[in-house]
Every structure is written in structure tokens, then in C-alpha cells.
Structure 1
Amino acid sequence: MNPSDYQKTKDSFITYMKSRAFTQNSIRSRLIIFRIYWKWLAKENLEVEQVTYNELLGFMKWCSNNGASQRTIQNYIGTIKHLYEHFIREGKATKNPATDITIKGVKRKVLYHIIEPHELHALYNNYPATSLQQSRSRVILGMLVYQGLKTFELGMLEVNDINLREGKLNVKGSARSNSREMKLEAHQIMDIYDYVLKVRGELIQMDTKRKAQAKEETSKLFIGEGGTCYSFSNFMTQVMVTVRKLNPNVLNAKQIRTSVITKWLKMYNLREVQYLAGHRYISSTESYLHNDMEGLQEEVQQFHPVG
């Protein structure tokens, strides 16, 4: 392989990662993996754009023989998936050889007890909204239980992402998720309308020592007193403290999202759920099927124990 090809490919891959909003640390770590992969390609005398699924399995075996753990190999394959997505965008490849690769022996994501749709609905309906802060929290909760948004996605939302006339929410994409347009539930719209046109304005008017910062951050949908944008985790803490009082079985926002996606899987096909969840890869959506099956098995054992 021509040494100049390495630098050209590296530079174009960096441009791709920046376009997908990868952090500097993430880019740095993925470039280390890129260098390891390129070393193997040179050893095998393979052209990077033409690597096949079977050849990629050979790379995984080479990594394992050199002491890499299954978790490490999983990270390597994740970066290689992005590399070939970049090639496909550039027209340098037609298939991603890493798409169907699954690493065995890696600990699965935490499985959550599924909160039923009627329980999620009850959380929203019973959430108090007697103060400005509670009104804000109720809107946040609604986007958790009906749109299944991630915490960081909620924190990224801006006022212009809400289309009350059409009852839609625009969720921007990031390095971790795809953009999508989501339907708001009818019973959400009035609360959001009240928050955007009244509550949010009253929060901005509240005096705080950080009011100067407000001028720069008032485009954010969820703001604190004086228009300041605190760490969104502070808002989520307020939401979850009240939620756990309403339903002690709720552990965190991830559990709520898992429950929402599991509900979608019973209503729509995998591709539709992938879009709604903002997943970059269908495998991410499929992992929630496993959570649902585990939950079903637990129920069978609880009510119909064998032996």
C-alpha cells in the first residue's frame, strides 16, 4: 500500500468524523484504531476499500491473537464501521463489511424492568405542575415517555425545534444518534404551548446573578431562572425525584426510554422503530428485542416456575 494513501485516507476520515460531531477525544481514540487497522491491511497486502466480511473476521482473529479483549475488538469494529460508512458516502465502497459483525462474549447492556404504557401515561398525568420549575419538568417528562428522547437530546433542543401548529418535534442528529421528526401527543401540546409561550418567559424574567449569560443561551428550549442554561442533568434530577415518588419502580431515564422503545417494537417494524429511536444501526434497535424477551422469561419464571 502506498504510504501517501494512509495520510489521505486519515485526513478524509477526520473530516468525516468532524462532520458527524465526534468529540476531539473520540477522534483521537478512533485514529489509534485506524492506525492499527492500517497496519494489519499492509501486513495482509489488502486495499482498504475492498476488504470483505471474511477478511474482516481475519482482522478480528489477528487482534485476538495479539491479546485484544472482546470488548476492545468490539470498539475496533465500531470504528471500522464508521470508516466504511465514510467510504460509501465518498463512493469508494458499495458495502460495509462490518455491518453484520457481532462480537460474542461481550457483556450485554443492562436489562431493565419494562414500565407498561399505562404506567408511563399515569406518570405524565399525575406529575404536578404548580410551579414554573414543575411545569418545565412535566414537559421534559412528556418527551421522555412519549418520544423516548435521550437526556442529551433533550438538552440540545431549541425553541425552533417545536412546531406546535403541526404538533411535531424536530430532534437534531449527533455523533450518537440520527435526526428525526416526531409526532407530539395531543395531550402534550397544551403543556408545551403553555411552557413555550408563558412559563419559559417567566423563567427568563427571574433575577439571577447569571443573567448576563442568558442573552447567549435563550435559544435553548429548557432553561433555568434568568434564562440560564444549567447542566441539563440538574433538570433531570428534579424530574426523576418526583417520578420515583409517583412510581418507585422507575429507576432512571434510560429505563423509561427502554420501555418506550419496547412498546414501539410491538407496534411498528424494526426500521420504523430504528427511525423513531434515532439509532444509527439496526443492531441497536434489535438489542431492545432481547430486553423484551428477557422480561418475558422473567414473568414466565415468576408466575409459572418450572420444577
Structure 2
Amino acid sequence: MNAFLIACTFIFSVTLAFADDDDKAAVKQPDFAKSGTVFLAAKAQSVSGLQTVTLTPVSHHAEFMAYGKAVNVQPLIELRHRYLLALTERGGAAARFTQAEQNIRRQQDLYRDGATSKRNLQVQQAQWQTDKAQLDASGVQAKAIADEARLNWGKKLSEWALATDSELLSAFLSGRQTLLQITLPVNKQLASDLQTIYVEASGNRSAAGKAGLISAAPQTDLSAQGESYFFQTDNSHIRVGMRVAAWIPEQGENQSGVVIPKSALIWYMDQAFVYIKTAEQQFSRRTIDQYSATTGGYFVGNGINAGEQLVVIGGQMLLSEEFRGQIPNEDD
């Protein structure tokens, strides 16, 4: 019986000891969300290679993403060749018809003067009708090709393709320009004054180049179902058949803020942060809740001000220093 009481007393004492240790551990757990200041000596900053830049104000237009593809212009070129051939045939038919009109007038004069037979006049009339039918048919053929071009490529590209001297279309043939078809999300529209977007094949916004608006596309991408537009780009890395990402300015006014380099952004527990140098040896961590990719890094509209010193190299080291400073000493 005494042994049983001693054992119970021992177990109860051990349980209380562990509970007390758990309470102490809970109290000493670092609260990262409430911390945000790091002190680092000037020499340590130099040795670690820490670098800062002074932020400058920028004006930014919000963007949305869309996707598209680099289009093969070969079918458009074939339409152009068919159209030019139809024009040539129409020119020949027009010349033959003009000659037939002259011939029939001459035969009519000769017939009235009794210098030719009625049969010869009838033969010439039949030839006139044949030449007129060929002229009309060549005109219908040319119009059918023009209509096909407009249905598949829109008014602007059709005008480029069907012009007798199309310098604009030759840019696609020489490879100086690549034709793009970009399809917007179903709930998006182009701003009425938009002329330029940014495109890139790998989805890297900072590497995106300009693409100029040509016209609305008469047919859309079946997989996207949004409005579709033709653009042209001189980006030599975008080849026919490639899928491309596009960044398109939203309708609305510009926003004021700053652009931070990619190297300045650090992550911890699914949250983005940057460090701002607030004194010679003091750094403050700032939470970045909203940002958007842009050329040169990320645009931030609030939380960071122009004129502040942003850490662009060494932010991860500062994060480690801050976190290390919150870990309790095991001897305490």
C-alpha cells in the first residue's frame, strides 16, 4: 500500500513538472508577427554585403493578365496571292471585254452598211456576252476572296493583305514583326485609348516587351471565350505557334507608389516582407500585402514611401538575425 502511494505521488510530481515546462515554453515562443526591428553594426553590414537603394516615386497603371498565341500569317499570304491573281484575271477579262465592245460596234456599223452578214454580227455578239460574263465572274471571285479575308482576319489586316503594295504585311514576311492573337478574360475589355500592351512567352513580366494593337479579331479562342484582338511585336524570341502571356493596362487612372526590385522581396510563412533602413544601424521589417509585377520588379502602392532606404541585398540575412534574436536562450 505504501509503495502504491509513493508511485502515485511520483507520477503527480512529474506531471506537474512537465506542465510547468510547457507553460514556460509557451511563454518563451517568439512572436514573429509582432517583431520588426533589427540592429546591425556598420561593420557587419559591410562584411555581409548588405546594400540599399533610395526609392523614387513612380506612376503605375494597374494591369490584368491575358493569354494568346503567335499566329502563322501563311493563310493570310495565300489569300493575298489569290486576290492578286484574281485582280490580274479581272484585268485580262476587262481588256478582252473592251476589245469585244469595239468589235461589236464595228460589226454593227458594217451590218448597217451591208458590208457583213448577220451571222458575223451574231458571232461577235456571242463573243461580247462571253467576255462580259468572264469579267463579271472575275469580279465576283475577287470580292469573295476579300470577304473571306475580312471574315477571318478583320478589316485592318485584310486591308494590309489586299493592298497592291503592302509594306506593313512585308514586316511579317521578313520576320521583323510577329502577329499575335490575344484573348481577354470574359469579364475584361480593352480601354478605348489603349494602343500598347506587354507580352512575353515564359510569363516573366520583367522581361516583357511591347506589342502594338492592330485591330479586333473577328474570331475568338474557343478555350477562353473572351474578346480577341490582333497585336504585333518585334520580340524576336516569340516564334509562330508559341503561347504568350500578356499584361494589359486596366481602365482607370494611374496609381502612385514605388517599384521595388525582386531581390528586395523576402518570404516567411507565406507572407512577403521587405526591410527598410531607418537609422545607421537599424532596419525595420515591413509587410507587403499587395504588389503587382512590373518591369524592373514589383509595384507597391502603400506601406513603403518614396525616399526611404530599401534593402535590396541582405534582406534574408536580416530576417535570420531578427528571428535568431527572438529564440530564447536554452539556459534561461
More helix by share: 1
Fold match (TM-score > 0.5):
no
Larger RCO of the pair (alpha carbons < 8 Å, separation 6+): 2
Larger Cα Rg: Structure 1 or Structure 2?
2
- Give the alignment's TM-score, normalised by structure 2: 0.18
Q: TM-score, normalised by structure 1?
A: 0.19
